[in-house]
Amino acid sequence: METSLTDLQYPIGKPTLPDGPLTPTERTEYINQLAALPALLTAAARKAGGVRLENSYRPGGWSGRQVLHHVADVHQNFDMRFRLALTEENPTIRPFDMNAWNELPDVAASPVTVSLTLLEAVHSRWVTLLWHLTDEQWQRTFYHPSYQRAYTLEQALVQYSWHGRHHLAHIELLSREE
């Protein structure tokens, strides 16, 4: 059976955000997914190997190298969005051009291990913060001008957990037997 371009682009499907509050058990699961991501990405990158990380996981897609640097870049921003929402009233976050960031010279020049180490450090702090949030804090919001809507931190948790697993699946596609 042939894999479709959509299956390659969204190997775990598209995210579904909750309409209401998460249960403590659901929250724990998403936090655990964020906590596990750096080690899982590192293992998947090792399994794919250096040469395959220079390839794209789908026609027209980013290379594995670009994906790994992207995850580190974006998750730093995700952590910052949480911190802004916790310290300001419904702050407007600053979107950025992910494709342009992936064309910056450090993406090609830096070993992926640099971004994997950075991701591990960011997630260590971020996950520690998440474990200490109150129910009230999880309902705090930030405004995303590109989507013209506010997101609760719980919704962001679901989205960002999905984002990590989504790109983990892309790296795992690179190590599939051909």
Is residue 121 in a domain? yes
With contact defined as beta carbons under 8 Å apart, do 110 and 121 qualify? Answer: no
Looking at the structure of the chain, the number of domains it has is: 1
Cα separations (Å) of 59 from 8, 108, 135, 156? Answer: 9, 19, 43, 29
Mean pLDDT of 25-43: 98
Is residue 160 in a domain? yes
Q: What is the pLDDT of residue 106?
A: 97
User: For residue 2, is pLDDT > 70?
Assistant: no
Whichever domain contains 98, its CATH number is: 1.20.120.450
Is residue 5 in a domain? no
Is residue 11 in a domain? no
Q: Which two tokens stand for residue 118?
A: 């950075």
Mean pLDDT of 19-48: 97
Give residue-wise pLDDT tens across range 62-112. Answer: 999 999 999 999 999 999 999 999 999 999 999 999 999 999 999 999 999
Is residue 125 in a domain? yes
What percentage of the chain carries pLDDT values higher than 70?
A: 97
Is residue 14 in a domain? no
Q: What is the pLDDT of residue 3?
A: 66
Is residue 46 in a domain? yes
Q: What is the pLDDT of residue 6?
A: 74
Give residue-wise pLDDT tens across range 133-162. Answer: 999 999 999 999 999 999 999 999 999 999
Provide the residue range defining the domain that includes 170: 23-53+60-174
Q: CA neighbours within 13 Å on the CB side: how many for 95?
A: 9
3-state secondary structure of 56: strand
Burial 53-68 (b: 16+ CB within 10 A, else e): beebbbeebbbbbbbb
Computed over its alpha carbons, how large is the radius of gyration of the chain? 16
Burial 144-159 (b: 16+ CB within 10 A, else e): beeeeeebbbbbbbbe
Q: What is the pLDDT of residue 177?
A: 54
